[in-house]
A and B are shown apart, each in its own frame.
Chain A
Amino acid sequence: QKEVEQNSGPLSVPEGAIASLNCTYSDRGSQSFFWYRQYSGKSPELIMSIYSNGDKEDGRFTAQLNKASQYVSLLIRDSQPSDSATYLCAVNSDHSGGYNKLIFGAGTRLAVHP
Chain B
Amino acid sequence: ETGVTQSPTHLIKTRGQQVTLRCSSQSGHNTVSWYQQALGQGPQFIFQYYREEENGRGNFPPRFSGLQFPNYSSELNVNALELDDSALYLCASSLAGVPDTQYFGPGTRLTVL
Contacts and interface: CB of A to CB of B under 8 A. Distances in A.
A complexed with B: yes
Q: How many A residues are at the interface, by size bracket?
A: 20 to 34
Interface in A10-43: 32, 34, 36, 42-43
Contacts of A100: 31, 33, 48, 56, 94, 99-100, 102
* Interface SS of chain B: strand
B107 interface: yes
A92 B55 contact: no
B90 interface: yes
Interface string B23-37: 000000001010100
Contact of B55 (A32, A43, A46, A98): A98
Q: How many B residues are at the interface, by size bracket?
A: 20 to 34
B56 A44 contact: no
A101 B56 contact: yes
Interface in B40-91: 40-45, 48, 50, 55-56, 58, 88, 90
Contacts of A98: 55
B23 to A, nearest CB: 12
A7 B35 CA distance: 22
B100 A104 contact: no
A46 B4 CA distance: 13
A75 interface: no
Contacts of B100: 32, 92, 100, 102
A95 interface: yes
24 contacts: A34-B101, A34-B102, A36-B104, A43-B88, A43-B105, A43-B106, A44-B43, A46-B102, A46-B103, A90-B42, A97-B56, A99-B48, A99-B99, A100-B48, A100-B99, A100-B102, A101-B45, A101-B48, A102-B45, A102-B92, A102-B100, A104-B42, A106-B41, A106-B42
Give 10 nearest A-B pairs by CB, closest first.
A104-B42, A99-B56, A100-B100, A101-B45, A92-B100, A43-B107, A43-B104, A99-B55, A32-B100, A100-B99
Interface of B: 2, 31, 33, 35, 40-45, 48, 50, 55-56, 58, 88, 90, 92, 94, 99-107
